Amino acid sequence: MNNETATEHINRDTFNIDLVGTYDMLVMINNEDMKVAEAVKKCIPQIAKAVDIIVRNFLHGGRLFYVGSGTSGRLGVLDASECPPTFSVPPDMVQGIIAGGDRALREAIEGAEDSEEMALYDFDKYDICNTDTVVGISASGNAKYVCKFLQVAKIKKCKTIVITSNPDAKLKEYADCFICAETGAEAISGSTRMKAGTAQKMILNMLSTAAMVKIGKTYHNLMIDVKPTNSKLKRRAVTIVSEICGCREMTARNVLESNGYNTKHAVLFILYGLSFEEADNLLKQNQGVLRRIFEG
C-alpha cells in the first residue's frame, strides 16, 4: 500500500472491533487516539511557520480563512466561531468557509467536495486579497473544492497553509506552508472524523491561539480580551482583573460593571486611575497590548 490514501487503509489493530465487548472497543479507539498528539508534535516546526505567516498578515490588516469540506470544513468553522468571544476580535477577522455553505454544517451536501465552481464562487464572495491567509483543510489533501480554492488564492498572491494527513496531497503544490500530521489508518477505515479530524482540531487550536497570543490578546496566559457574553465569562473577567491588579474580586466586579465589562480598561483604572477615555487612548497607542503599557 502507498501513502496516498493512508486514512483509507484497513487498521489491523481494530480489525475485530465489531466482535469485542464495549470496554475493549473503547480501548481500541483510545489507543488509536493516543497516536494523534505524537503525529501533531512532529509538525510543530511547520505549525510555527504557519503561525508567523498568520501574524504577519494580521498586523497588516489581513484576515484568516479556514477552507474545507465535510468534517474538515466544520472544524474550520468551529475554530473561527470561537475567536470573537475568546479574544474579542471582529467576526470577519477569522472566518470558516465550508463547501456547500451553512447547510453543510448539519448535513452532507452531494457534490460539494468536488465542486470547483462552488470554490470559485465562494472565493469571490469573500473578496479575499493578498493580505489574507488561506488555510486549506483536507484529510486526503485532494478535495477538489479546497484545491481550487487554494489554487486561486495562490494566483491572487495570498499566503496559503495546508493541513492534511497525506504527505502526497495534491494541495501541497499550492501551499506556502504544508502541515501533514500522519495519523495513519483510522479505527473505522476511512472515517477521518476520528484521528485525522482530531489532529486537525489540535492544529487549528494551535494556529488561532498562538496567533492571538502573539498579537497581544492575552496577558501572561490570561484571556485578557475575553468578551463576557454570559455569567461564566463575566466571572472569568472578574478573576482576571483581580489577578492582574492584586485586588479583591468585589473591587474588580464593581469596576467591570461600571464600564461594561471592558477588562483592560478596568485594569488601567484600578492600577493607574485612568478614565475610560484615557485608557482607551493609551490602548490604541499600544495596539491594545497591555504588556507594552506596563513595560513602556
- What CATH number has the domain bearing residue 145? 3.40.50.10490
Structure confidence at residue 108 as a pLDDT band (50, 70, 90): confident
**Roughly what angle, to the nearest 10 degrees, separates helices 263-272 and 249-258?**
120
Please say which residue of 188, 214, 240 terminates a domain: 214
Domain coverage including residue 238: 231-295
Catalytic residues, by residue number, are: 82, 113
Cell of 55: 501574524
Structure confidence at residue 255 as a pLDDT band (50, 70, 90): very high
66 and 210 fall within a common domain: yes
For residue 224, being part of any structural domain is answered with: no
CB 150, CB 66: distance < 8 Å: no
Q: How many residues are listed for the chain in this entry?
A: 296
For residue 264, being part of any structural domain is answered with: yes
239 and 180 fall within a common domain: no
160 and 270 fall within a common domain: no
248 and 143 fall within a common domain: no
123 and 153 fall within a common domain: yes
34 and 167 fall within a common domain: yes
Q: How far is CA 17 from CA 26, 35, 59, 256, in A?
A: 9, 18, 49, 53
Q: What is the pLDDT of residues 36-81, one digit of tens each?
A: 999 999 999 999 999 999 999 999 999 999 999 999 999 999 999 9
In this structure, the number of other CB atoms found within 10 A of the CB of residue 258 comes to 12
205 and 78 fall within a common domain: yes
Residue 116, exposed/middle/buried by CB under 10 A (0-12, 13-18, 19+)?
middle
Q: What is the pLDDT of residues 223-244, one digit of tens each?
A: 998 888 899 999 999 999 999 9
Q: pTM value?
A: 0.91
Total domains, the chain: 2
CB 91, CB 84: distance < 8 Å: yes
CA 242 to centroid of chain Cα atoms = 29
68 and 209 fall within a common domain: yes
- Residue 3: per-residue pLDDT: 43
- Residue 2: per-residue pLDDT: 44
65 and 200 fall within a common domain: yes
- Residue 139: per-residue pLDDT: 95
Name the residue among 140, 148, 138 with its Cα closest to residue 115: 148
260 and 171 fall within a common domain: no
pLDDT of 269 strictly over 90: yes
CB 135, CB 163: distance < 8 Å: yes
**Residue 73, SS3?**
helix
For residue 82, being part of any structural domain is answered with: yes
Nearest 5 degrees, angle CA 190-CA 98-CA 2? Answer: 30
Please say which residue of 214, 242, 263 terminates a domain: 214
Name the residue among 235, 206, 241, 203 with its Cα closest to residue 222: 241
Please tell me the distance from the alpha carbon of residue 112 to that of residue 116, in angstroms, as a whole number: 9
- Residue 209: per-residue pLDDT: 97
**Residue 179, SS3?**
strand
130 and 80 fall within a common domain: yes
80 and 108 fall within a common domain: yes
